[in-house]
Amino acid sequence: MHIVERGTGVPVVFLHGFSVDHRIMLPLDPAFAGGAWRRLYVDMPGFGHSPRGDVSSTDELVEAVDSGLTDLLGGESFVLVGNSYGGMVSRIIAGRRPQQVIGLATIFGLVVPDLAARDVPAHVVRRSDPSAVALAGASDYTDLAVIQSPQTAQGFLDYIQPGLQAADPEAVEMLSAAYAPTIEPGRYAGPSLFVTGRQDSVVGYRDTMASLENYPAATLAVLDGVGHNGHLEAPALVHALLTDWLERVLAP
């Protein structure tokens, strides 16, 4: 797997969402850059610079990522941060490795893979800006943006669009056809953070709330005024939540 590495210290593995790549996670880096964290931004199989290989289902993708982490980290303790689809993958891996994974965070993470079964709100735009829409120039921006602004449009161009363009179409098609994993996430008792958006029309927030019994040391944040790419719409708030969570991870 292709990995972009920054810093030294405790490993932090970042797993991106579906059809994008590691770049969507880079706006989170300021929350980690001031500490002793070895940040590992992963392109999962079929996305970014990582070839699909033999992966044709989410189950196989989980196995490939899990095996890759064993090769990379051995038995070393590490932290997981997942976004959207990568949040689902992260929860599965944390459930498998409850002693090795010393912290779990999902940022607008997927809980219910079946689109029709998700409890999600309708898409709304809290702040419209025609100049931002013109700058982004793509329905992938307008379909998800709750806050339309030059900043979120530029974030889309810098961190989301390149991954969409780099994704392997065959991988997207095959994984879409076998999207729901048969592997259950299981229980994870380590320090956890679930950041959700009140206006997230892709994965919502209620499904995450319903999963909390499996995460007895979890903080749940439901952010008003942000959608599925809320780390671009409310970066300071997301960074503050991550900072608080990292303090819990390191607490004796």
Task: For residue range 191-234, list pLDDT tens digits in order.
Answer: 999 999 999 999 999 999 999 999 999 999 999 999 999 999 99
* Contact indicator for 163, 19 with CB cutoff of 8 Å: yes
Q: What is the CATH number of the domain that holds 181?
A: 3.40.50.1820
Q: Give residue 7's Cα distance to chain centre.
A: 20
Task: Return the closest-CA partner of residue 222 out of 210, 13, 213, 42.
Answer: 210
**Position of tokens 């048969």?**
182
Kindly report the backbone phi and psi dihedral angles of residue 4, in degrees, each rounded to the nearest multiple of 5, phi listed first. Answer: -100, 125
What mean pLDDT do residues 2-12 have? Answer: 97
Domains in the chain: how many in total? 1
Which pTM does this prediction carry? 0.95
Query: Domain of 90?
Result: 3-250
Categorize the per-residue pLDDT at 5 as very low, low, confident or very high, splitting at 50, 70 and 90: very high
Instruction: Please give the Cα distance from 233 to 244 (Å, whole number).
Output: 19
pLDDT for 23-33, tens place per residue? 999 999 999 99
